[in-house]
Amino acid sequence: MLNEKIQEGLTKQLNRELESSQLYLYMASWVERKGYEGICEFLYDHSNEERNHMLKLIRYINKRRGNVILNNNGFSIINNITCISLKDLFIKLFEHEKKISREINFLVEISLQEKDYFTYNFLQWYVEEQIEEEALSKMILDKIELIGTDKGGLYFFDKDMKNFHKKKNCD
């Protein structure tokens, strides 16, 4: 059974994952309207990936006989997003991933303080995942900054993202 602090932390995290899924979905839609086929597929995939992260938490909470509480109060992060450019979008995304990493680290710290080694062990998957998420979003941001406003560069980058999407789905 989960203690109150762990239950509260896991509940907040599963709702953050839900919010992340919605954020990626919103950004994918924005990018798709701009004509970036490859980047939108990447973002739609990541929306699904974040939803799966949420489901993983729900299943863990249920396995530990906790209570799953989904926040349906709306998502403040999405309401505050205005994208002016692809670069702006990926800056926001990178900042969001760094915030999620801080929250995962905080949850790991709570699990150690509460001596809940089951949860500590479970969270190691999220720690590894966040290392990958931050590195990937930073790599994409770096490439976009390198390309700048070169339309040809953006075109080829979008094609590369489409190939990245196809390759990832084949792995």
130 carries a ligand binding annotation: yes
Closest to 15 in 3D by CA, of 55, 48, 47:
55
Please tell me the predicted confidence (pLDDT) of residue 30: 92
Query: CB-based contacts of 69: which residues, under 8 Å, 6+ apart?
Result: 11, 15
Please tell me the predicted confidence (pLDDT) of residue 71: 80
The DSSP annotation for 63-92 comes to HTT-------S--HHHHT---SSHHHHHHH
Lowest mean pLDDT among 47-51, 111-115, 158-162, 167-171: 167-171
46 carries a ligand binding annotation: no
Q: Above 80 in pLDDT, residue 166?
A: no
Please tell me the predicted confidence (pLDDT) of residue 1: 85
Q: Above 70 in pLDDT, residue 81?
A: no
Q: Above 80 in pLDDT, residue 74?
A: no
Residue type at 15? N
103 carries a ligand binding annotation: no
Domains of the chain with bracketed CATH: 4-170 (1.20.1260.10)
114 carries a ligand binding annotation: no
53 carries a ligand binding annotation: yes
